[in-house]
Structure 1
Amino acid sequence: MRPDYDPLDDPPWAMQLVVRAEKADPPNHSAACEAAATAVVRLLTDPRATEPGGEWHEAVREWESRRIRKVTRRARGVRWPEAQALPGVTVEHAGAEVRAFPPTAVADVPPELAKLQVAGLDLEDGDPEPSPEPPYAAIALNPGVTITTGKAAAQCGHAAQLLLRQGKRKDVAAWLEGGARVHLARDVPWERCVKRATVAVRDGGFTEVPPGTMTAIAWIVR
């Protein structure tokens, strides 16, 4: 038996995230991460996920009872409208488009998504954007950890999900009412971010980084 085997995670479940990455006009790294985080929150707060009897309610409940995994894929050309045709939530933000899909067992990922590439999504970035008007969720990625855009998008999704579930109710309510906006804090020293953080993501170690690595932190700005 594997030393990391967890019977509660058998079979493993994951939420799929798809980033639109056209060759001619790809989004930048930060925008893709921010859009991914917002897409996760909007799916989890959609009535189809929150209301008993909603078409995504049981899937979300089952997934959140296990290890919280997310898989980021990329789509371009005809693959993007094919992904858009499946149930999910799309966020368009600062030139990025990301669609989050209700979680499934890893073995049951729809074929339209399963054929999309997972590895190699690594986007360029521009200058840091100014912070939006509050309320918004600030997410910081650990500058001491090197990860691809695909991995970073998943980690930002994890951070936003933890913030949704563990943040102060009044802060979370205000954040959601404001549209669940997310800002990647790139111009604030990491040590200062850690002191402000409400939640921290420690990676399971399945891809790119060792298990237990702190990859992302988040807090709500009001």
Structure 2
Amino acid sequence: MVVRIERGAPPARTDALETSARAVLTILSDERSLGEGPWAQAMTDWQDARIRKVVRRARGAEWRKATTLPGITVTGATTGTAVADAASAGNTGGTDGTGEPSEAEGTNEPSTTEAPAAAEVRVFPPVPLDGWPKELIKLQVSGTDLDDPAEPGPVPDGAAVLWLNPELAMSAGKTMAQTGHGAQLLWWRLPDPARAAWRAAGFPLAVRTATPERWARLTASDLPMVRDAGFTEIAPNSMTVISEFPAAGVAAR
């Protein structure tokens, strides 16, 4: 997966986490991934092995090149518009949204702080680790982190929930891979009618960090649980995400 992170307006963390999960669900259920579709064999081989996801980041021309490759772009929620930063009213510089100096440089107008952009995630059919396209191989993978401008709201009615382990600290890129895993395990758990209904609704889901008390209850359940192999950031066999979908009958008891 590749997440778009522009200098001027990166996405909010939770939006990126939720969008990465929906991106995985979208490619799993896409007609090109099924039957005799052009991605079907690659998807089958990938799902028959240990599933692994790599999240890289791109902006500008790098993002545009990534979107020319076979795949699907999934867009998250729009979180707001640009707002003036009154504290920087005396600033003599500015940007034009690309990180470069704007033509208005040298004025005393208040600068503009971009609100988080809607998350954009491009998901690609799986390839071997040594078979990445040249357009993606140079994209950075480490250090992808994001913030939420405010605490996420309540979980929408009828949505699946991907609960994050409250005791683990992971970068946004790492966590995006984990929520993708959580969504995939939940998809595998659902019967065909529930899958079809979820897809028709646009895969409503939420990513939230569980309280320690809730996490203890979830770990004692038979819900889909993600255990990380420990290649990066966290110890092997760490439990990262537990997936719950009460509306579809997948809930802690």
The corresponding residue for 2:175 is 152
Contact 2:163 / 2:210 at 8 angstroms: preserved in 1? Answer: no
Tell me, in whole angstroms, the C-alpha distance in 1 between the residues paired with 2:142 and 2:50: 21
Task: Kindly report which structure 2 residues correspond to 1:7-156, keeping only aligned pairs within 5 A, or say none.
Answer: 17-51=1-35, 53-94=36-77, 95-125=118-148, 126-134=150-158, 136-156=159-179
Q: Which amino acid is the alignment partner of residue 232 of structure 2?
A: T
Deviation per residue, 1:136-162 (Å, 9 max, x gap): 221011010111000000000000001
Tell me, in whole angstroms, the C-alpha distance in 1 between the residues paired with 2:122 and 2:156: 22
Deviation at 1:172, TM superposition (A): 3.1
Q: TM-score, normalised by structure 2?
A: 0.76
Tell me, in whole angstroms, the C-alpha distance in 1 between the residues paired with 2:221 and 2:11: 29
Q: Which amino acid is the alignment partner of residue 101 of structure 1?
A: F
The alignment partner of 1:157 has SS state of helix
Tell me, in whole angstroms, the C-alpha distance in 1 between the residues paired with 2:209 and 2:222: 14
The corresponding residue for 2:239 is 214
Report the CA distance shift for 1:198/1:170 in structure 2 as closer, same or farther (over 3 A): farther
Q: Which amino acid is the alignment partner of residue 129 of structure 1?
A: G
Deviation at 1:174, TM superposition (A): 2.5
Unaligned runs of 5+ in 2: 78-117, 248-253
Structure number, greater radius of gyration: 2
Deviation at 1:194, TM superposition (A): 4.0
Tell me, in whole angstroms, the C-alpha distance in 1 between the residues paired with 2:55 and 2:22: 14
Bigger Cα displacement from structure 2, 177-186 vs 80-89: 177-186
The alignment partner of 2:163 has SS state of strand
Deviation at 1:196, TM superposition (A): 6.4
Q: Which amino acid is the alignment partner of residue 153 of structure 2?
A: E
Deviation at 1:186, TM superposition (A): 3.5
Q: TM-score, normalised by structure 1?
A: 0.86
Tell me, in whole angstroms, the C-alpha distance in 1 between the residues paired with 2:245 and 2:147: 26
Contact 2:165 / 2:209 at 8 angstroms: preserved in 1? Answer: no
Deviation per residue, 1:108-147 (Å, 9 max, x gap): 111111111000001012311232242x221011010111
Tell me, in whole angstroms, the C-alpha distance in 1 between the residues paired with 2:219 and 2:196: 23
Contact 2:162 / 2:244 at 8 angstroms: preserved in 1? Answer: yes
Tell me, in whole angstroms, the C-alpha distance in 2 between the residues paired with 1:173 and 1:191: 31
Report the CA distance shift for 1:142/1:186 in structure 2 as closer, same or farther (over 3 A): closer
Contact 1:197 / 1:219 at 8 angstroms: preserved in 2? Answer: no
Q: Percent identity?
A: 43
The CA RMSD measured in Å over matched residues stands at 1.7
The alignment partner of 2:160 has SS state of strand
Contact 1:122 / 1:149 at 8 angstroms: preserved in 2? Answer: yes
Aligned length in residues: 204
Tell me, in whole angstroms, the C-alpha distance in 2 between the residues paired with 1:196 and 1:90: 34
Tell me, in whole angstroms, the C-alpha distance in 1 between the residues paired with 2:222 and 2:151: 23
Deviation at 1:193, TM superposition (A): 4.3
Contact 2:12 / 2:146 at 8 angstroms: preserved in 1? Answer: yes
Tell me, in whole angstroms, the C-alpha distance in 2 between the residues paired with 1:38 and 1:28: 15
Unaligned runs of 5+ in 1: 1-16
